[in-house]
Amino acid sequence: MKRVITEISCPITKRESMKVFSKNIASIEPWKEITQQSYAPNTLISFNNDWNHFINFCLEHQMIPLPATPKVIKLYLNHVRKTRKLATIKRYCITISLVHRCHGYVTPVDHQEIKLLLMSIHNDKTNDFKQPAPFRKFHLDQLIEKLGNSERLKDLRDLAIWSLMFEAMLKRTELKLITLNNLDLQNPKSITLTIEDYMFTLSEETSLLISKWLNHSLITEGFLFRSINKHGHIHNQPMDPSSIYRVFRRIAVELNLSHSVIFSGQSPRIGASLDLSEDGYQINEIQSKGRWKSSAMPAQYVGQIAKRNVEMDKFKKKKEWK
């Protein structure tokens, strides 16, 4: 839902706020004020980082950031398009628009020339993405061989995560919300996982890894996977995105892979799609196993770009740059 934020009405308050937002901002407190605390702290931190990036550009080129003219925005976007991803550029535009609206100005991003420029950037960047490294069965086998006899809680947890996410092709959001209520643990060698309308009978390998994690962690209720601090203490809350991110960044280190190989929470779905494709599965079958609504993503993962483009055209809606 779009947040309704009232612009600053008091001339004195507006003038003081503009002074603050015309230079680098060190904290999120000014953001709380202009947005009436409508956003979460992490979102405000992102806004602040993006705005400071824009401010630095304006200061370097001796331009006025607030209110910014369409010419300033055009120069800025042509500057960032060289090094930034499309999603980042969109986020910059959202931040610039927000600051202008809060101070009672028409956002320069709405100018027709900027809309055309953004469409050009969108077209240039559509296929300009780097897919995370695929996490495949042979990676999992190597990790189990290396860490399978470990008694460290972190090793036990991470092995269970890697194996479960690969086998069930789970999303990060699905993983973090799994509780013991989602599991049938009657047979430790054949655990059943239920997520919404889907039921997975897990392999003996994955089942035993989960059972070992539960036995050592002494978790008897609540979330299956949780953060572990440096003292080995297990938290009660589910893992946050940064914790899951670190679990997957760890893979390259454990397997002595190049620094250019970057795994993420997306990697098991990519790797499993590739393995299934090489085993003879068709795209629609992979789509079903991965619970995708369309075949666009599995087609992208296995390299069928033409198929992906057809599917993307079916589902995408034309976005107006506002």
Q: Cα–Cα–Cα angle for 140, 141, 146, nearest 5°? A: 95
Mean pLDDT of 138-145: 97
pLDDT tens digits along 71-82: 999 999 999 998
Of 51 and 307, the structure prediction assigns the larger pLDDT to 51
Residue 127 binned pLDDT confidence (cut-offs 50, 70, 90): low
Is residue 78 within 8 A of residue 40, CB to CB? The reply is no
Per-residue confidence (pLDDT) for residue 311, from 0 to 100? 43
Q: Where exactly are the structural domains of the chain?
A: 11-125, 137-280
**H/E element holding 234?**
strand 234-238
Q: Is the pLDDT of residue 200 over 80?
A: yes
Cis peptide before 41 (omega within 30 of 0): no
**11-125 classified as CATH 3.90.850.10:** no
Per-residue confidence (pLDDT) for residue 305, from 0 to 100? 44
Residue 304 binned pLDDT confidence (cut-offs 50, 70, 90): low
For the chain, the residue count is 322
Is residue 264 within 8 A of residue 243, CB to CB? The reply is no
The pair phi, psi for residue 80, each rounded to 5°, is -80, -20
Per-residue confidence (pLDDT) for residue 319, from 0 to 100? 41
Per-residue confidence (pLDDT) for residue 156, from 0 to 100? 97
Mean pLDDT of 24-38: 92
Q: Please tell me the distance from the alpha carbon of residue 128 to that of residue 77, in angstroms, as a whole number.
A: 16
pLDDT tens digits along 7-19: 998 999 999 999 9
Residue 64 binned pLDDT confidence (cut-offs 50, 70, 90): very high
Per-residue confidence (pLDDT) for residue 126, from 0 to 100? 65
Residue 297 binned pLDDT confidence (cut-offs 50, 70, 90): confident
Q: What percent of the chain has pLDDT over 90?
A: 71
Query: Within a 10 A sphere around the Cβ of 84, how many other Cβ atoms?
Result: 17
**One-character DSSP codes across 15-73:** HHHHHHTTS---SSHHHHHHTTT-S-HHHHHHHHHHHHHHHHHHHHTT---TTPPHHHH
Per-residue confidence (pLDDT) for residue 3, from 0 to 100? 65
Is residue 237 within 8 A of residue 125, CB to CB? The reply is no
Is residue 178 within 8 A of residue 197, CB to CB? The reply is no
Query: For all residues of the chain together, what is the average pLDDT?
Result: 89
Q: Is the pLDDT of residue 117 over 60?
A: yes
Q: What percent of the chain has pLDDT over 70?
A: 91
Q: What is the pTM of this model?
A: 0.59
Reading across the β-sheet that carries 183-184, which strands appear in turn? 183-184, 192-195, 198-201
Class of domain 137-280: mainly alpha
- Helix residue ranges per DSSP H, the chain: 11-20, 29-34, 41-60, 70-80, 86-102, 112-125, 137-147, 153-168, 172-176, 204-217, 241-254, 267-278, 283-290, 296-301, 305-315
pLDDT tens digits along 160-194: 999 999 999 999 989 999 999 999 999 999 999 99
